């Protein structure tokens, strides 16, 4: 029993990483109906910016705020420059665009900061949390921050005019335009917010996986798995999905013999496929009905 | 959020390509064929090897083109089928001492089965979800190949070394050149078969599904059957390409078949023009040579140069090489008139 509780706790701790990333994935999916394959790289780049700011002597929270602001603006800029012209293009072209963006960001980050692994500080300290060896104060802080972001997002979408406009633009663009919503800018705003959330995710994840240009690859795949499990249309579902994937991965690794570390990834991926086949809208997503 | 269900009209995943626009005219085909036959006689062995790889990746891109351009389904998982084909050939050659030429049809059949079975669950998915599921398959494949359980056959992380075949009947050519012509014959065979497939009843069914699934089923097309069949055919051809790839490179290892390969093949298709079969070879040239060119322009920034080139292609020629070819034909036609 104790082993079980410990493994669940450890799973929740890693799950927090996936939940953070999944939140950003869902955010952009809400805005543009595409999965952004470059999301992880955008988050990585933001994290490097904050690291650079700290190297220049800016205190942690100062650089945190600056980075989130920078990411927001950069997200909007990327949308305006590169993806707005592709809005009407087939999905295929968009996917190719994301891959191109991925290659560019990864390579530029590698050139500026090179591929050596860097330590990244945590604002929460890394001592054991409430005397538990499995979950550190950093991980607890990360979970807290993820939940805080989720609550803020909930309030934003539920109670602000902009949030309402964004939801309208995402679900029925034509009608939204008719009532005077600038849908094109709502999409840009969605990119900005996704980039900002991604940057928070990056800064929270970096102390755990260490900072380097390829740090996000594995995390992004788990983030996708989490987002699909929870439902791509539900931010709440994405966070729950993140924790579930983390716990599931740990329990399977512990209790099913023969599943070592190397099989953890295929299991997360098998989970994606299973969920997609059994319940395509995810646990909390709305089923989408097509008009014929 | 709200429990209300959304009603959306789904955007088309792939643009419709008319059937006629899918192939080349006889004259142009002949010129390309002659060029492909003569060039190896004039160049060095290393370049012959690269040309062999060009044909092999061309086959793999062609396979993806049948799936995406033909039946309108996505795949970011072609590297998985490629890997299965490569391993099938390698294992049969090294453990069962089978002739390399005989291993290829077996690789094709095994991959056909694998693709057909994968197509079954994929039936329920479309667009971005299918991209994600196949992406998952491609990422998982190297890990599965490394498993200790299969190590006796696959060689685990180490992989397997494959012997390169000599030219038969005492023909006076180098191994590379023999393999090139061998690959060329197979490529032409598969290309012709694919063209015919797309012109046949099945091909029309693929395209009907691509353009409007519901209308297709109303017309009596068995959507589930043809969608899985498209997956199977595509995987089968990719498997043959994988087998040839294993023989040409003389080596198979899990890390040779990562998601990067799947993404390359996908990009090759976009660059070559989705649904334009001859474009496959152009796309294959893009994924083989452009990274080298990018490296030549700037070593540290090769990824960025590659990405920028890709963006240029997307913005300037969104239909890839097909668009270039159409413009070229029109220019040629005008010159003729004058």
3-state secondary structure chain A: CHHHHHHHHHHHHHHHHHHHHHHHHHHHHHHHCCCCCCHHHHHHHHHHHHHHHHHCCCCHHHHHHHHHHHHHHHHHHHHHHHHCCCCCCCHHHHHHHHHHHHHHHHHHHHHHHCCCCECCCCCCCCCEECCEEEEEHHHHHHHHHHHHHHHHHHHHHHHCHHHHHHHHHHHCHHHHHHCCCCHHHHHHHHHHHHHHHHHHHHHHHHHHHCECCCCHHHHHHHHHHHHHHHCCCCHHHHHHHHHHHHHHHHHHHHHCCCCCHHHHHHHHHHHHHHHHHHCCCCCCCCCEEECC
Q: Of A35, A266, A289, which is closest to B6 when you measure between CB atoms? A: A289
* CB proximity under 8 Å: A 262-291 to B: 262-263, 265-266, 269-270, 272-273, 276-277, 280, 286-291
Contacts of A96 in chain B (CB under 8 A): 266-267, 270, 310, 314
Q: Does A292 touch chain B (CB under 8 A)?
A: yes
Rounded to a whole number of angstroms, the distance from the CA of B99 to the nearest CA of chain A is 33
Token pair belonging to A25: 């994935």
Q: Does A100 touch chain B (CB under 8 A)?
A: yes
The confidence band for B20, taking pLDDT boundaries of 50, 70 and 90, is: low
Q: State whether A96 and B267 contact (CB < 8 Å).
A: yes
- Nearest CA-CA partner of B41 in B244, B247, B181, B159: B181
pLDDT of res. A68? 93
Rounded to a whole number of angstroms, the distance from the CA of B251 to the nearest CA of chain A is 23
The whole-number average pLDDT for the span B158-185 is 79
Which residue of chain B comes nearest to A106, CA vs CA? B303
Contacts of B6 in chain A (CB under 8 A): 171-172, 286, 288-289
pLDDT of res. B1? 37
Would you say residue B96 has pLDDT above 50? yes
Phi/psi for A234 (5° steps) reads -125, 110
Rounded to a whole number of angstroms, the distance from the CA of B226 to the nearest CA of chain A is 19
Q: State whether A263 and B11 contact (CB < 8 Å).
A: no
The whole-number average pLDDT for the span B87-93 is 88
Q: What is the pLDDT of residues B26-61, one digit of tens each?
A: 777 777 788 888 777 777 878 888 888 989 999 999
- Nearest CA-CA partner of B92 in B76, B79, B78, B108: B108
pLDDT of res. A67? 93
Q: State whether B132 and A276 contact (CB < 8 Å).
A: yes
pLDDT of res. B6? 40
> How far apart are the C-alpha atoms of A92 and A157, rounded to whole Å?
30
Q: What is the pLDDT of residues B236-292, one digit of tens each?
A: 999 999 999 988 888 888 888 888 888 888 888 888 888 788 888 888 988 888 888
Token pair belonging to B262: 């799947």
Contacts of B68 in chain A (CB under 8 A): 92
Would you say residue B126 has pLDDT above 60? yes
Residues 6+ positions from A79 with CB-CB distance below 8 Å: A187, A188, A191, A192
Q: State whether A289 and B15 contact (CB < 8 Å).
A: no
Rounded to a whole number of angstroms, the distance from the CA of A231 to the nearest CA of chain B is 11
Counting residues of chain B whose pLDDT is more than 90, the rounded percentage is 11
Q: Of B5, B135, B303, which is closest to A106 when you measure between CB atoms? A: B303
Q: State whether A290 and B300 contact (CB < 8 Å).
A: no
How many whole angstroms from its chain centre is CA A113? 23
- Nearest CA-CA partner of B12 in A215, A90, A241, A35: A90
Q: Of A34, A93, A258, which is closest to B314 when you measure between CB atoms? A: A93
Q: How many CB atoms lie within 10 A of CB B38?
A: 9
Reduced to 3 states, what is the DSSP secondary structure of residue B172?
coil
Would you say residue B3 has pLDDT above 50? no
Q: State whether A107 and B307 contact (CB < 8 Å).
A: yes
Q: State whether B140 and A269 contact (CB < 8 Å).
A: yes
Q: What are the C-alpha distances in Å from B99 to residues A180, B90, B117, B177, B249?
A: 69, 11, 28, 18, 17
pLDDT of res. B10? 45
The confidence band for B203, taking pLDDT boundaries of 50, 70 and 90, is: confident
Average pLDDT value for chain A: 83
Pick among B61, B130, B134, B140 to test the A interface (most A CBs inside 10 A): B140
The confidence band for B130, taking pLDDT boundaries of 50, 70 and 90, is: confident
Would you say residue B190 has pLDDT above 80? yes
The confidence band for B296, taking pLDDT boundaries of 50, 70 and 90, is: confident
The whole-number average pLDDT for the span B146-158 is 72
Q: Model pTM? A: 0.82
Q: Does A261 touch chain B (CB under 8 A)?
A: no
pLDDT of res. B236? 93
* CB proximity under 8 Å: A 31-70 to B: 33-35
Q: Of A100, A225, A291, which is closest to B7 when you measure between CB atoms? A: A291
Instruction: Please give the average pLDDT of every successive group of 10 residues along chain A, which has 292 residues.
Output: 79 84 84 80 91 88 92 92 81 83 87 83 72 73 86 87 85 84 87 90 84 82 85 85 87 72 72 76 70 58
pLDDT of res. A49? 92
The confidence band for B111, taking pLDDT boundaries of 50, 70 and 90, is: very high
Contacts of A273 in chain B (CB under 8 A): 121, 133, 136-137
pLDDT of res. B7? 39
Contacts of B16 in chain A (CB under 8 A): none
Q: State whether B6 and A228 contact (CB < 8 Å).
A: no
Q: Of A90, A224, A289, which is closest to B13 when you measure between CB atoms? A: A90
Residues 6+ positions from A218 with CB-CB distance below 8 Å: A209, A265
Contacts of A258 in chain B (CB under 8 A): 149
Contacts of B266 in chain A (CB under 8 A): 95-96, 99
How many whole angstroms from its chain centre is CA A136? 21
Rounded to a whole number of angstroms, the distance from the CA of B171 to the nearest CA of chain A is 44
Reduced to 3 states, what is the DSSP secondary structure of residue B188?
helix
**Cβ pairs bridging A and B (under 8 Å):** 153
Who has greater pLDDT, B165 or B77?
B77
Residues 6+ positions from B165 with CB-CB distance below 8 Å: B100, B175, B178, B179, B247
């Amino acid at each position: 029993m104790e082993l079980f509780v410990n493994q669940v706790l450890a799973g929740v701790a890693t799950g927090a990483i996936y939940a953070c990333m999944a939140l950003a994935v869902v955010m952009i999916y809400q805005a543009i109906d595409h999965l952004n394959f470059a999301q992880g790289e955008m988050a990585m780049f933001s994290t490097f910016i904050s690291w650079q700011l700290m190297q220049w002597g800016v205190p942690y929270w100062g650089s945190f705020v600056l980075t989130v602001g920078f990411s927001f603006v950069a997200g909007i800029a990327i949308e305006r420059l590169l993806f707005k012209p592709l809005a009407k293009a087939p999905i295929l072209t968009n996917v190719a665009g994301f891959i191109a963006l991925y290659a560019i960001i990864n390579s530029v980050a590698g050139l500026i900061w090179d591929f050596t692994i860097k330590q990244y500080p945590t604002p929460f300290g890394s001592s054991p949390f409430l005397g538990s060896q499995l979950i550190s104060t950093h991980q607890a802080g990360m979970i807290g921050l993820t939940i805080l972001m989720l609550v803020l997002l909930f309030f934003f979408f539920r109670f602000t005019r902009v949030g309402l406009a964004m939801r309208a633009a995402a679900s029925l663009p034509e009608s939204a335009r008719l009532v005077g919503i600038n849908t094109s800018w709502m999409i840009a705003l969605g990119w900005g917010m996704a980039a900002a959330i991604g940057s928070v995710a990056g800064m929270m994840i970096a102390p755990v996986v260490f900072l380097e240009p390829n740090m996000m690859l594995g995390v992004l795949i788990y983030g996708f798995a989490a987002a699909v499990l929870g439902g791509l249309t539900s931010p709440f579902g994405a966070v729950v999905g993140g924790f579930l994937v983390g716990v599931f991965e740990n329990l399977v690794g512990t209790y099913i013999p023969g599943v070592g570390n190397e099989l953890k990834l295929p299991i997360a991926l098998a989970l994606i496929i299973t969920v997609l086949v059994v319940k395509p809208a995810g646990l909390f997503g709305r089923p989408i009905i097509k008009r014929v | 959020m709200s429990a209300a269900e959304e009603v959306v009209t789904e955007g088309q995943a792939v643009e419709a390509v008319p059937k006629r626009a899918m192939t080349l005219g006889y004259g142009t085909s002949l010129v390309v064929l002659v060029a492909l036959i003569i060039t190896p006689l004039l160049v060095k062995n290393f370049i012959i090897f690269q040309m062999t790889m060009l044909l092999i990746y061309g086959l793999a891109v062609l396979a993806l083109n049948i799936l995406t351009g033909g039946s309108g389904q996505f795949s970011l998982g072609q590297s998985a089928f490629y890997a299965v084909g490569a391993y099938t050939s390698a294992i049969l050659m090294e453990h069962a001492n089978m002739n390399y030429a005989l291993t290829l049809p077996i690789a094709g059949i095994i991959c056909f089965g694998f693709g057909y079975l994968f197509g079954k669950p994929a039936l329920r998915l479309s667009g971005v979800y299918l991209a994600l599921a196949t992406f998952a398959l491609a990422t998982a494949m190297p890990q599965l190949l490394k498993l200790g359980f299969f190590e006796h056959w696959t060689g685990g992380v180490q992989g397997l070394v494959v012997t390169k075949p000599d030219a038969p009947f005492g023909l006076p050519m180098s191994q590379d050149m023999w393999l090139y012509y061998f690959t060329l014959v197979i490529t032409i065979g598969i290309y012709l078969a694919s063209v015919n497939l797309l012109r046949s009843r099945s091909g029309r069914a693929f395209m009907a599904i691509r353009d409007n699934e519901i209308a297709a089923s109303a017309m009596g097309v068995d959507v589930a059957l043809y969608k899985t069949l498209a997956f199977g055919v595509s995987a089968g051809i990719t498997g043959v390409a994988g087998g040839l790839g294993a023989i040409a490179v003389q080596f198979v290892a899990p890390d040779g078949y990562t998601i990067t390969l799947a993404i390359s093949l996908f990009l090759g298709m976009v660059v070559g023009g989705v649904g334009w079969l001859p474009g496959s070879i152009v796309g294959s040239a893009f994924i083989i040579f452009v990274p080298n060119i990018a490296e030549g322009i700037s070593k540290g920034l090769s990824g960025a140069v590659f990405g920028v080139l890709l963006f240029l292609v997307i913005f300037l020629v969104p239909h890839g090489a097909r668009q270039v070819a159409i413009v070229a034909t029109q220019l040629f036609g005008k010159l003729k008139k004058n």
